[in-house]
Chains A and B, each alone.
Chain A
Amino acid sequence: MPSIQLQRLVKRYGGLEVLHGIDLDMAENEFTVLVGPSGCGKSTTLRMLAGLESVSDGDIVVDGRSIAHLDPKDRDIAMVFQDYALYPHMNVARNMSFSLRLKKRPRDEIDRKVRATAEMLGLTPYLDRKPGELSGGQRQRVAMGRALCRDAGIFLFDEPLSNLDAKLRGQMRAELAMMRQSVRKNMVYVTHDQIEAMTLADRIVVMNGGHIQQQGTPSELFRRPVNRFVAGFLGSPPMNFLEAELVDDGGLHARGAGFSLRLPEDIVTRARKLGGGRATLGIRPSDLEYAPEAAPDRALDLRVIVSEYIGAQSVLICDCGGTRVTVEIKSETPIALGETLRFAARPEGLHLFDPETERAI
C-alpha cells in the first residue's frame, strides 16, 4: 500500500535516450494508468519500476526508501506481463503459488490463498490444467491470479488485455474494475488503449516520446487537456482540430475556412494575453449538436460525407472547408448524405491551442 515516487527517471540504451526524466507521484492505493502511443516508453517505465531494467539516472522511491538498485525479488512487486509469461510446465495452481512456494510459506496458507484467488477469478475448475490446455482468456486470468495470489504491495500490469479479442477485453476490463474494489493496492497499469485508461484509472498519465504530457484524473484530462497531443489522444472518436485566425469582430471570434465561431469569455481572457494571431481550434465530436436554428457564430456548417451507424449513436464524417470533422449524434436525427447542415458547438467544449507549441491556450 505504499506511495511511489519516480524522480527525474531517465533511461538510456547506449547513446539512445528513451525516457527523458519522468517525474511522477503515486499516492497510496492509487490506480495509475500510463497511457500513450506504442514506443513512447510506458513499458520501459514499468520495467524500471519492477527492476527488470536498470535506472540510468534519477530515482525510484517507495515509502521514502530508494529501491532503484534493488533486485526485482527484493522489491515486493507483482507483475502481469503482456504475453502472460505462464510457466508452461506447471499447472495453474502451481503457477499461482510459485512465489509463495519460493518464500517457503506453510502449505495450508498457500492452499487457502490459491483457492481464494481461483474462486475470485473463476479458475477453480482449471487448477490442475497446464497453461497449454487453456484458452487465451483463461491464461490471462491465470496471469492475473499469479500476481494477486501474492501479498505484494505494488501491482504492475503491462498491457494485460491487449492480446484478447474485443469482446473478452471489454469483459475483463469490467472484471478488473470490479477486482479493483476489493483489492486496495497500488496498481500501475500500462496500456495504449485510452478507453481502458479512462475506465480504470484514478490517475491517468499520458506519455509521448519519453515525456509525461499530462497527469490527473480522467475527467480533468478529458475536460482540460494541456496540449494538442493529450486532447487528440483521449476521447473516441478523437477531437477535431481546425486551423483558425483570432479576429476581434464585436467579441473575439475564431475564424477559419467556412466558419466563424464566437469564443466564450473564459477563453477570451486567456487568448487576449496572446494578442490575436493564429490558433488551432479543438472541438470533440460529442460537443457538436445538430441545430438547424443555431446562430451562425455559435455553429459550424458541415457537409456530411459518411454516416457510420453504431446503434444509438451515429458518427458523421463531414467536411468543413477542406478539413475533416467528425460529429457524434443520436441516430434518430434525420440526416441525408451530401447535405450541408448546421451543428451548434457547445461553448464549454471549445479548446484553443497554440499552433507552434501545441499548448492549450
Chain B
Amino acid sequence: MASAARPRANPAFYALIALLIFMSIGPVLLLLVNSLKLDVDITSGAGGLLFMPTIRNYETALCDILWYEPEHLRFCQIRFGGAFVNSIIIALVSTALTLVMGCMAAYALVRFRFMGRDSLSLSTLAVRMIPPAVLLVPVFGLWNNAFCLDNDYGLGAWWRDTFGGRGDVCLAGTHGGIILIYVAMNLPFVIWILQSFIVQVPRSLEEAARVDGAGPFQTFFIVVLPLIKPGLAAASIFTFRIAWNEYLLASALADRDTMTVPILIVNNASEFDGLGTIFATGMLLAIPPILFTLFASRQIITGMTAGAVKG
C-alpha cells in the first residue's frame, strides 16, 4: 500500500545515485585492482581488467610478519607488517579503553550530583580546544623522563632482564605510552557525545531497574548501556579513525618496535619500490577502518528507546 502511494522516482535521480556510488567506490576499486597487478601491468597502462591477479604485492608489503619467505623477494626491506599490527593493537585498545571510561564518566556526569559537576562537564569540552601539537613537547618530556622505571631494581630490573634494552624503562616507546595519550585525547569528545545519549534514557527506567532489584552497576550495564549503543558506535568510529590516522604524537613517542603505519610510511617512503606495493599497502591501510566502521554502524539503530515510556 505504502509503495503504491509513493510517487514514481525520476530516472535522473537514479542516475545521480549511480554516479555518486561510482565516485565513492571507484577509487577503492581502482586501488584493489592495481594492488593485484604486477608493476609491469600497472605501468603498461593497458587499462584494463585483463591481467593475472597476484598476491605478490601483499607478500612484499607484509614480508616481515609472513611465516614463509616469498620467492620473489631476496630481502625483506620494509617492516610494514609490524607497523600494521601495532596500528591495529593501538587503535583497538585505545578505542576500547576510551569507550569504557567515557561511558562511565558520562553517566556519572549526567546522573550523579557532586561538587564541581558542571565545571567538570564544561572543562571536558575545553580540553578539546587545545590542539594536540601543544601537547607534543610536554608529553614527550614526561613520557621520556617522568614516567620511567629505574632499571636497577624492582620491576624495572625485571623488565630489563626479560626484555633487554639499555637505560631506564620509560612510557615512551611502548604501546601503552601511545595508547594513553590517545585515550586522553579522545576521552573528552567521547564523554561529551555519550552524555547527550545518556540524557535521553528516561530516568524512570533506571528507577524501575533499581526497584526490580538491580544494583547501580547492573542498572548501568543491563539497562543503560544497551540503550546508548548507537552513541557508543558513533564514538568508537570516531576514536578508531583518529587513532588509526594520528601521526604527530605517534611520531614523537614511537620507537622502532612500536611504530604505527603512518610513521612507517613517512619514514620509509623512499624504500617503497614499485607501485604495486604502494597500492597493496594502501589497500591494507584502508581495510581496518572500513571493516570497523561497517561493524560499528550496524549497531546504530535509530529509535532504540522507542516504547520505553508511554509513547
Contact = CB atoms under 8 A, between A and B. Distances in A.
A167 interface: no
Given A85-B205, A88-B304, A72 B309 contact: no
A150 interface: yes
B306 A88 contact: yes
Interface in A4-60: 50-52
Given A85-B202, A85-B205, A79 B211 contact: yes
Nearest to A80: B208
B18 interface: no
B207 A85 contact: yes
B275 to A, nearest CB: 49
B310 interface: yes
B307 A77 contact: no
A190 interface: no
A157 B210 CA distance: 16
Interface stretch (B35-43, B79-87, B183-191, B212-220): B212-220
Interface in A148-176: 150, 163
Contacts of B308: 84-88, 131
A89 B227 contact: yes
Contacts of A132: 303, 306-307, 311
A78 B214 contact: no
Given A130-B307, A139-B307, A139-B311, A81 B208 contact: yes
B226 interface: yes
A99 interface: yes
B210 A85 contact: no
Contacts of A139: 307, 310-311
B305 interface: yes
A136 B207 contact: no
Indicate the member of A50, A72, A130, A150 with the most B CB atoms within 10 Å. Answer: A72
A73 B207 CA distance: 10
A71 interface: yes
Contacts of A136: 310-311
Contacts of B211: 50-52, 72-73, 77-79
Indicate the member of B226, B306, B311 with the most A CB atoms within 10 Å. Answer: B311
A312 interface: no
B92 to A, nearest CB: 25
A132 B307 CA distance: 4
B299 to A, nearest CB: 12
Contacts of A98: 209, 212
Size range of the chain A interface in the assembly: 20 to 34
Contacts of A71: 210, 215
A150 B212 contact: yes
B145 to A, nearest CB: 48
Contacts of A82: 204, 310
Contacts of A103: 213
A53 to B, nearest CB: 10
Interface in A164-220: none
Nearest to A134: B307
Nearest to B210: A72
Nearest to A149: B212
Interface in B13-69: none
A131 B210 contact: no
B99 to A, nearest CB: 18
B125 interface: no
Interface string B207-240: 1111111110010000100110000000000000
Contact of B210 (A73, A83, A84, A163): A73
A78 B223 CA distance: 17
A99 B215 CA distance: 11
A146 interface: yes
A219 B291 CA distance: 70
B303 A84 contact: no
A77 B223 CA distance: 19
A133 B307 contact: yes
Contacts of A102: 212-214, 218
Contact of A83 (B209, B226, B303, B310): B310
B300 to A, nearest CB: 14
Contacts of B305: 88
A86 B218 contact: no
Contacts of B210: 51-52, 71-73
A131 B215 CA distance: 23
Contacts of A99: 212-213
B162 to A, nearest CB: 43
A84 B309 contact: yes
A89 B306 CA distance: 9
Interface string A84-110: 111111000000001100110000000
A218 B294 CA distance: 62
A158 B227 CA distance: 24
A131 B307 contact: yes
Interface in B264-311: 303-311
Contacts of A50: 207, 211
Given A85-B309, A133-B307, 12 more contacts: A52-B210, A73-B210, A73-B212, A78-B212, A83-B309, A87-B208, A88-B227, A89-B226, A102-B218, A131-B306, A132-B306, A139-B310
Interface of B: 202, 204-205, 207-215, 218, 223, 226-227, 303-311
7 nearest A-B pairs in the assembled complex, by CB-CB distance:
A132-B307, A131-B307, A132-B306, A83-B309, A85-B204, A99-B212, A85-B208
5 contacts: A85-B309, A86-B308, A87-B205, A87-B209, A88-B307
